[in-house]
Amino acid sequence: MRKRIKVIFEVCLFLFESYSFANNGAPGRLFLSAMSQKNFEDLNVVETALRDWMSGLTGALVAFSGGVDSALMLSVAVEVLGQRVLAVTFDSGALPRFELDRATRVASDCGARHHILRVDLLDEPFFRENPPERCYHCKKALFARLDELARRHKLEAVLEGSNQGDLDDYRPGLKAVREMGARSPFLELGLDKAQIRALARRRGLDIWNAPARACLATRIPHGEAITRARLSRIERLEQAILAIGFSDVRVRDSRDSARIELPADEISRAMAAELREQIAHAGENAGYRFVAIDLRGYRRGSLNPKSTNK
């Protein structure tokens, strides 16, 4: 059985590499389509493919948020490359403090070298002015810093954790990632979020089922100025709602109003008088005049340009 899996994997790897070569090294989906779904759902095959991908590098800098995608990537990279891996997390003013603390803990659990790079995005006009292409400019600036750091540490590649599901959302930052020459192993291997979570769980990463998070700037409508005060009140209210016991939340900030998106199956719970009062009080404490719960629930990218929403 192992021999058969090995043969299947080697054939698919050859096809993928041939496709990439024909496309000037661009990542594609042939690896996923060439391998039968049954075989690719075998986590042994997925894990072997990821290890072999990492073994093609002499060293790597991992863009590390501490979420499940970057945690799995870091875990496998450290297993294959050891101390030739450096995890880097940005302390940018747009990352909640609890996520920064989590990134530090998860990097330690993975046995990785970890560097926190402090960058104040509010110093940048493209960030403060918040145009629709803000994410592109942010990624371009941040990955330029990562590229510089990788060169300084003599690390061959900068890795980031986008997966197949990200291609279905409005992600202008992906264009910047590609322009900066960063590598995306999950995209190159055709892995989706479900496969990443399943493999992270098997490898004992305790955040395997943690909700996906995005930078706090994504809570503010494009065209409205991003300020330190707005980012702070978004973070305070989201933390308060999570502390009440909800599994996930997005606070959509518009001037003096907060529109709260909760998982759809938790909205009815929020309607109970006692919890409703707690949420309203938390919103007032955070600095909002009006607090509303969106009855449609949490939707990824609900503030994205309408033509790009899926």
Shared domain for 15 and 123, answered yes or no, is yes
Whether residue 192 sits in one domain with residue 84: yes
Query: What radius of gyration, in Å, describes the C-alpha atoms of the chain?
Result: 20
CB 132 within 8 A of CB 140: no
- Mean pLDDT value of segment 102-110: 97
Question: Is residue 75 domain-resident?
Answer: yes
Please report where in the chains the tokens 């479900």 appear, as a residue. 194
Q: What angle do CA 88, 92, 95 make, to 5 degrees?
A: 90
Query: Is 47 a domain residue?
Result: yes
Give the residue-averaged pLDDT of 256-282: 96
Domain end among 179, 202, 225: 202
Portion of the chain with pLDDT greater than 90, in percent: 77
Q: Are residues 195 and 220 in the same domain?
A: no
Of the residues 170, 202, 234, the one at which a domain ends: 202
Sheet hosting strand 113-118, strand order edge to edge: 113-118, 85-91, 60-63, 157-159
Domain identity same for 138 and 21: yes
Shared domain for 223 and 134, answered yes or no, is no
Q: 256 and 290 in contact (C-beta within 8 Å)?
A: yes
Under a CB-based contact definition with an 8 Å cutoff, are residues 170 and 309 in contact?
yes
Tokens of 28: 């594609």
Instruction: Give the Cα separation of 216 and 253 in Å (integer).
Output: 10
Residues 133 and 281 reside in one and the same domain? no
- Say how many CA atoms lie within 13 Å of 185 toward its Cβ: 30
Asked, for residue 182, whether it belongs to a domain, the answer is yes
Query: What pLDDT digit, counting tens, does each position of 169-211 carry?
Result: 778 889 999 999 999 999 999 999 999 999 999 999 999 999 9
Same domain, 233 and 90: no
Say which CATH number the domain at 91 has: 3.40.50.620
- For residue 290, the SS3 value is strand
Overall average pLDDT of the 73-85 stretch: 98
> Can you tell me the mean pLDDT for 150-161?
97
Query: pLDDT band for position 305 (50/70/90)?
Result: low
pLDDT above 70: percentage of residues in the chain? 84
The mean pLDDT of 29-45, rounded to a whole number, is 55
Among 6-10, 184-188, 222-226, 256-260, the minimum mean pLDDT is found in: 6-10
Instruction: Tell me how far apart the alpha carbons of residues 178 and 170 are, in angstroms, rounded to a whole number.
Output: 15
Burial class for 189, CB neighbours closer than 10 Å (0-12, 13-18, 19+):
buried
Residue 207 lies in a domain: no
Query: What mean pLDDT comes out for the span 121-150?
Result: 95
Domain with 250, as residue range(s), is 216-308
Q: Which long-range contacts (C-beta less than 8 Å, at least 24 apart) are formed by 249-254?
A: 249/298, 250/219, 250/298, 250/302, 251/219, 252/219, 252/221, 252/294, 252/302, 252/303, 253/219, 253/220, 254/220, 254/221, 254/224
Range of lowest pLDDT (34-38, 65-69, 134-138, 157-161): 34-38
Pick from 159, 64, 156: nearest CA to 108? 64
Is-above-0.75 flag for pTM?
yes
Whether residues 160 and 297 share a domain: the answer is no
Residue 241 resides in a domain: yes
Q: What is the distance between the alpha carbons of residues 228 and 234, in angstroms, rounded to a whole number?
A: 10
Domain membership of residue 116 (yes or no) is: yes
Residue 16 confidence (pLDDT): 43
Judgement on whether residues 96 and 194 belong to the same structural domain of the protein: yes
Instruction: Give the angle subtended at the CA of 202 by the CAs of 81 and 156, to the nearest 5°.
Output: 20
**Are residue 170 and residue 288 in the same domain, yes or no?**
no
Report which DSSP code applies to 211.
Answer: P
- As for how many domains the chain has, the answer is 2
Q: What is the pLDDT of residue 264?
A: 95
Q: Are residues 52 and 98 in the same domain?
A: yes
Are residue 114 and residue 225 in the same domain, yes or no?
A: no
Give mean pLDDT, residues 49-58.
Answer: 97
* 38 against 93, higher pLDDT: 93
Classify residue 208: in a domain, yes or no. no
Neighbouring-strand partners of residue 63: 88
* CATH, residue 253: 3.30.70.2210
Q: Is there a domain that residue 293 lies in? A: yes
**Boundary residue ending a domain (169, 202, 235):** 202
